[in-house]
C-alpha cells in the first residue's frame, strides 16, 4: 500500500539554493512516469481550488504563488500544463520560455505562468512590470524563480523536481512556506489517502 507523508525536513536536507529554508512542512512524492505527474497535478488543482477560496489563509483570498525548481528537462513545464488542464484551461498551453509570461483566464481565476530562465538580472522582473501581476489576485506559477531572486514574494509552495540517475523517474518535493501552502499540502495528502501508484 502506498502513502504520502508530510514531514518537517531537517536542516540541510535539501540544497538551500533550490528550496526554501528547512524545517517547513514537506511532501515527498515519486513520479515513475508522466501519468503520476498528471495525477499529482489533478490533486493539487483540487487542493488549490479549495484553499484559494478559503478565508483566514495568509494571502489574499483567491491568490496563490507556486515556485517550480529543477534542471532543464526535469518536467516543470509538463507539470504546469497538467495542472492548468486540471484547473480547466482549454486550448493550447504554450511555454512562457520566450514570452516570459503566459496568462490564462478561468471563471473567477486569473492564472499567470512565468519562466524567468532568460533573465540575466533580477531587475528585469521589476522593469517588466511583474510586481502588479504578483500583487493581483489569482494563481502565479514561476519556473526558474532564482533568476528573479530577492524580488519575488514568499511562495506558498516550493516544488523541486529531480531526475533520478539512470532513470526517467522523478523525485518531487513540495515544501509549504505559508499557511495556505501548508493547508494545500494537507489537502493534497488527504486526497491521496487511497494511495495512487507512483507515490511514496
Q: State pTM to two decimals.
A: 0.80
CB atoms within 10 A of CB 5: 10
Boundaries of domain holding 124? 6-54+61-191
Kindly state whether residue 200 falls inside one of the protein's structural domains.
no
Q: Which three cell numbers stand for residue 172?
A: 518531487
Kindly state whether residue 44 falls inside one of the protein's structural domains.
yes
CB atoms within 10 A of CB 107: 5
The Cα–Cα gap between 176 and 6 comes to 10
Report pLDDT digits (tens) over 58-106.
434 589 999 999 999 899 999 999 999 999 999 888 888 878 899 998 9
Kindly state whether residue 130 falls inside one of the protein's structural domains.
yes
Report pLDDT digits (tens) over 107-149.
889 999 999 988 887 777 777 888 888 989 999 999 999 988 8
Strand-pair partners of 158? 67, 175
CATH of the domain at 41: 3.40.50.300
Kindly state whether residue 173 falls inside one of the protein's structural domains.
yes
Kindly state whether residue 199 falls inside one of the protein's structural domains.
no
Kindly state whether residue 185 falls inside one of the protein's structural domains.
yes
CB atoms within 10 A of CB 141: 27
Instruction: List CB contacts of 12: < 8 A, sequence separation 6 or more.
Output: 22
Kindly state whether residue 110 falls inside one of the protein's structural domains.
yes
Our count of domains for the chain comes to: 1
Amino acid at each position: 500500500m502506498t502513502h504520502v507523508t508530510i514531514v518537517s525536513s531537517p536542516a540541510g536536507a535539501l540544497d538551500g539554493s533550490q528550496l526554501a529554508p528547512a524545517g517547513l512542512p514537506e511532501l515527498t512524492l515519486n513520479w515513475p512516469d508522466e501519468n503520476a505527474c498528471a495525477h499529482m497535478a489533478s490533486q493539487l488543482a483540487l487542493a488549490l481550488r479549495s484553499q484559494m477560496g478559503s478565508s483566514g489563509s495568509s494571502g489574499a483570498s483567491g491568490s496563490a504563488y507556486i515556485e517550480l525548481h529543477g534542471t532543464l528537462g526535469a518536467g516543470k513545464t509538463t507539470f504546469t500544463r497538467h495542472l492548468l488542464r486540471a484547473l480547466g484551461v482549454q486550448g493550447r498551453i504554450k511555454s512562457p520560455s520566450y514570452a516570459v509570461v503566459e496568462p490564462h483566464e478561468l471563471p473567477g481565476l486569473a492564472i499567470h505562468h512565468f519562466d524567468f530562465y532568460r533573465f540575466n538580472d533580477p531587475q528585469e522582473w521589476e522593469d517588466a512590470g511583474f510586481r502588479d501581476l504578483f500583487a493581483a489576485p489569482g494563481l502565479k506559477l514561476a519556473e526558474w524563480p532564482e533568476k528573479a531572486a530577492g524580488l519575488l514574494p514568499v511562495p506558498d509552495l516550493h516544488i523541486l523536481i529531480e531526475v533520478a540517475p539512470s532513470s526517467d523517474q522523478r523525485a518531487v518535493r513540495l515544501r509549504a512556506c505559508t499557511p495556505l501552502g501548508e493547508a494545500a499540502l494537507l489537502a493534497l495528502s488527504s486526497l491521496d489517502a487511497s494511495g495512487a501508484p507512483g507515490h511514496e
